[in-house]
Structure 1
Amino acid sequence: MSQYEFLAPCHFGLESVLKKEVMDLGYEIKQVEDGRVIFSGDETAFARANIFLRTTERILLKVGKFKAESFDELFEKTKDLPWENYIPKDGKFWVAKATSIKSKVFSPSDIQSIMKKAIVERLKQVYKLDWFPEDGEEYPIRVTFMKDEITIGIDTSGESLHKRGYRKLASKAPITETLAAALIMLTPWREDRILLDPFCGSGTIPIEAAMLGANIAPGINRSFLAENWSLAPKKVWYQAIEEANDVRKKDVQMTIQGYDLDGDIIKAARQNAALAEVDGYIHFQQRPLSELSHSKKYGFIITNPPYGERLEEREALPALYKEIGRVYANLDSWSMFLITSYEDAVKYIGRKEDKNRKIYNGMIKTYFYQFMGPRPPKKNIVLPGEE
């Protein structure tokens, strides 16, 4: 069985979460870089990585990596790559995205045009064709220049993997599904513990938690570009779906709650949860932060409160974060995890965080503050004959 290298991009600061996910799938980590994990796998990885990984934005099939300091060098080295190993005669191919950081070759549109010409020249020689119909499967190419070194991959996913298929309705500033999943995975939360999101919006954090707790594969209800590629036979997709159905927990019990001030967005959250097939695990309710309380101990708050990106919203943040601190103080055995770009959050919460992790949410630098509550007491195990 052939071996391939894959590139899995992620939010800056979450590489360790994605690395663990890839290793748990049984694939070998080749390299971890800022914002991506590179791993190797056989043909099953086309399907399993796309269907099972929760924290990557897409899976790219790595074609090559080289240094280029001029457009001529870019053309020749692109042409030298074995494109025929990936793109068939009728394949539709184009450079869908090019980014350049701290490199001499910096124009994205020129990079796209020159690389397309180089690939065409290569395939002309190999396939003995002067013209390509490009009416077959799609092979969008993505390239990244960093300090004159270019990494080239073909997108196997299509739409970004954060689009699980369940979020038809979204709140004004939603957190992505991939980021929500990663934040939950950074906490000690497990399905037997209470989880509460007091700023749930359209329900992304509660829904991702429920999917994680029930071990529902995030990509089980969507399609992918590589499904019809000859590199990834149909059988590997069928096997991955069968595996996803086998590992799903059917009888799990969870207590997950989502609150929001907006009644319409709570209705949207319920609809999204139903589409994700986790509505039975989550209780959504229209409720203000000031009424947040819980009779049970050792729960988790995992939330994405307002960032205050607009000036008028920012003026309201001190009072909001003071209120977060007040309600959390009344949940004395709970742990709280919140992501925000508001640098004074801890000052107004009124308690020093136990951990703080910097994560880039797009171009916004955010802080994932972690306030740890006490561990619950260990349950007494009753041995047979000791009842």
Structure 2
Amino acid sequence: MEKIELIATTTFGLEAVTKRELIDLGVEDINVENGKVYFTGTLRDIARANIWLRTAERVLVKMGEFKALSFEELFEKTKALPWEDWIPEEGNFIVDGKSIKSQLFSISDSQRIVEKAIVERLKTKYPIEWFKKSGPRYRVEVALLKDIATLTIDTSGEGLHKRGYRDRAGDAPIKETLAAAMVMLSYWNKDRVLLDPFCGSGTILIEAAMIGKNIAPGLDRKFDAENWDVVPSSYWSEEKIEAMRKIDHDSTLHLLGADTDKRSILRARDNAANVGLEDDIAFFMKDMRDVDLQEDYGVVITNPPYGERMGEREEVELLYKDFGKKFRELSTWSIYAITSNERFEELYGKKADRKRKLYNGRIKVDYYQFYGPRPE
């Protein structure tokens, strides 16, 4: 098995960032669609992509893609795929499904047909009638979109945003993958000051610290494919050893997190300590209006309250006005804020240099980017 087709799934709007990450990893034949980045790789790339991708949600093996207008067609074309190359006799294969604008709209029936087809295919290699499914997990998905069926196996297991450091999250946590993307889409680098004045449980700053120190986001967690016979265990150990070797232990970071909630600050400190970054980020309890900023050429990246609930909107809009008064006059700073409030530029008091549509969970948001000058 030399070359295989893989898919890195992403939040809508982050495909280009994930593509850039894959280019940096040296993979080939990259193609982008909504929420998916297709690429050609090797078995080792399964380990490398899971360990290193900061902005992807999952890494999938693409088993096949075909038109399916009937359940008979879905069964026969699924059965024709080489499932035995991946799933062993004791493999615990579970079939998930989704259907959008397709004649085969019954998700449960599609799942049942695909599972039956996989069983029939595996019987051609394993001389048994009943599969106990007592071994490693293989999450198969049948995704039907406009009558095209795409069949994949998930190599990641838990979503890649679950780095393992966030034991305690706040009331409105931002996904680690989105936080990393916000940093990667900014002008921040490890030599510049970074402030999050609404830091919550510290996710944006922890992701920035991991980028600044070149800490692989998947270094301290497990993946489903680590238990698969088809992917040699040596690939995982070698890639993790290489990732540890690449950590920059010498850089000094200037990361600041403020919040008015004491519990959030305590959570943030605990989360940073879980990655060994407690000395790299200063978390303190303070209203953003009172934060003292003395450095030039700093960067603000933040996820302020959105005011989605009734009764909160007026309070949040006042907060945005004060946020603008505080930061828009900092001529050498670059300011980045993500929010679902469509009046943000008006309330902030300045038009953004760039606005990017993203999603924070299921909430459609805009990432407002106000560029400062390059440091001298």
* TM bracket, shorter-chain basis: over 0.9
Q: Which residue of 1 aligns with 2:210?
A: 211
Q: Which residue of 1 aligns with 2:108?
A: 109
Which one is further off, 198-207 or 127-136?
Answer: 127-136
Tell me the CA shift for residue 142 of structure 1: 2.0
What residue identity is the alignment partner of 1:321? Answer: Y
Q: Is the 8 A contact 1:206 1:258 kept in 2?
A: yes
Q: Which residue of 1 aligns with 2:66?
A: 66
Tell me the CA shift for residue 317 of structure 1: 2.4
d(CA) in 1 for partners of 2:87 and 2:306?
A: 44
Match status 1:159 vs 2:158: yes
d(CA) in 2 for partners of 1:293 and 1:104?
A: 60
Tell me the CA shift for residue 361 of structure 1: 2.4
Tell me the CA shift for residue 132 of structure 1: 1.2
Q: Which residue of 1 aligns with 2:41?
A: 41
Match status 1:376 vs 2:375: yes
| Partner-residue secondary structure (3-state), 1:133 | coil
Q: Which residue of 1 aligns with 2:185?
A: 186
d(CA) in 2 for partners of 1:176 and 1:362?
A: 7
5+ residue gaps, structure 1, are 378-387
Q: Which residue of 1 aligns with 2:223?
A: 224
Q: Is the 8 A contact 2:175 2:360 kept in 1?
A: no
Identity in percent: 52
Tell me the CA shift for residue 101 of structure 1: 1.6
What residue identity is the alignment partner of 2:64? Answer: G
Q: Which residue of 1 aligns with 2:83?
A: 83
d(CA) in 1 for partners of 2:66 and 2:281?
A: 48
5+ residue gaps, structure 2, are none
* Shift in alpha-carbon separation, 1:29–1:315, aligned structure 2, 3 A: farther
Q: Is the 8 A contact 1:298 1:334 kept in 2?
A: yes
* Shift in alpha-carbon separation, 1:31–1:175, aligned structure 2, 3 A: same
d(CA) in 1 for partners of 2:142 and 2:250?
A: 44
d(CA) in 1 for partners of 2:367 and 2:279?
A: 29
Q: Which residue of 2 aligns with 1:278?
A: 277
d(CA) in 2 for partners of 1:209 and 1:132?
A: 46
d(CA) in 2 for partners of 1:77 and 1:361?
A: 36
* Shift in alpha-carbon separation, 1:124–1:237, aligned structure 2, 3 A: same
| Partner-residue secondary structure (3-state), 1:296 | coil
Q: Residues 116-138 of structure 1: CA distance to partner in whole angstroms, max 9, x if unpaired? A: 11111111233232111211111
d(CA) in 1 for partners of 2:188 and 2:69?
A: 48
What residue identity is the alignment partner of 2:181? Answer: A
**Structure 1 segments (4+ residues) deviating >3 Å:** none
d(CA) in 2 for partners of 1:308 and 1:232?
A: 46
| Partner-residue secondary structure (3-state), 1:19 | helix
Q: Is the 8 A contact 1:19 1:29 kept in 2?
A: no
Tell me the CA shift for residue 218 of structure 1: 0.4
Aligned residue runs from structure 1 range 333-344, under 5 A: 333-344=332-343
Equivalent residues, number: 376
Q: RMSD between aligned alpha carbons? A: 1.2
Match status 1:316 vs 2:315: yes
| Partner-residue secondary structure (3-state), 2:258 | strand
Tell me the CA shift for residue 215 of structure 1: 0.1
Aligned residue runs from structure 1 range 193-272, under 5 A: 193-272=192-271
Tell me the CA shift for residue 293 of structure 1: 3.2
Tell me the CA shift for residue 324 of structure 1: 1.1
What residue identity is the alignment partner of 2:172? Answer: A
TM superposition score normalised by structure 2: 0.97
Q: Which residue of 1 aligns with 2:288?
A: 289
Q: Is the 8 A contact 2:78 2:117 kept in 1?
A: yes
Q: Which residue of 1 aligns with 2:29?
A: 29
Tell me the CA shift for residue 332 of structure 1: 2.4
Aligned residue runs from structure 1 range 292-311, under 5 A: 292-311=291-310
d(CA) in 1 for partners of 2:77 and 2:312?
A: 50
TM superposition score normalised by structure 1: 0.95
